[in-house]
Structure 1
Amino acid sequence: MSDYYNQALEIYKEEQQEAAVEDTDAWDKRIDKTGCYVENLALQLCHADTNDWRKCLGEMNAFKNCWQSNGNNERTSTKDV
């Protein structure tokens, strides 16, 4: 796993402890339900740090794999108009 993933995992653990005390943001709840919260956060941290998506391909692939393995494509399927 990348350093961004490890950093995201630590943030996620801290947020889970705080969530028991405070209300969790609606956006965070939706992302958490995908099962890919840590991968999403790692991708955001990488992009914020590098300011270049191309430098975050590992994090992007980890998020994509997580998204697919959790069945989110079927859950969020859309139709072209």
Structure 2
Amino acid sequence: MDSKYYQEALEDYKEQQQEQAQTKEEADLWDKRINKTGCYVENMALQLCHADTNDWRQCMKEMALFRKCWDQHGNNQRVGTVDLVDNKGK
């Protein structure tokens, strides 16, 4: 599936990874958590689309990419257990 937002997000992600490797700087907690889903680029593409269009209905391609990635990485099962673990420490 071709999406200009996906391509932009992928390029940004690669640059971010290179910068972090060079500076040995860690990602913030939000980025770490999204990265663990395996769908960081798809999530960013969806956010970029919505920020640009201000209309989720125009982002159906990006939403489909995100959903496919989310399902492929088994995140529906993962979310409940991650939330339980995170809340126990609070």
TM-score of the alignment, normalized to the shorter chain, above 0.5? yes
RMSD of the TM alignment (CA)? 1.1
- 1:15-49 CA distances to partner (integer Å, 9 max, x unpaired)? 10112212211100110010000000000000000
Which structure has greater helix proportion?
A: 2
* Unmatched tracts of structure 2, length 5 or more: 82-90
* Selected match of 1:76 from 59, 79, 85: 79
2:62 corresponding residue in structure 1: 59
1:5 corresponding residue in structure 2: 6
Three-state SS of the structure 2 residue aligned to 1:24 is: coil
Look up the equivalent residue of 1:18 and give its one-letter code: E
* Selected match of 1:26 from 22, 26, 29: 29
What's the TM-score once normalised by structure 2's chain length? 0.82
Moved over 6 A (4+): none
Three-state SS of the structure 1 residue aligned to 2:19 is: helix
Aligned residue pairs, count = 78
User: Could you say which structure has the larger radius of gyration?
Assistant: 2
Three-state SS of the structure 1 residue aligned to 2:26 is: coil
2:48 corresponding residue in structure 1: 45
* Unmatched tracts of structure 1, length 5 or more: none
What's the TM-score once normalised by structure 1's chain length? 0.91
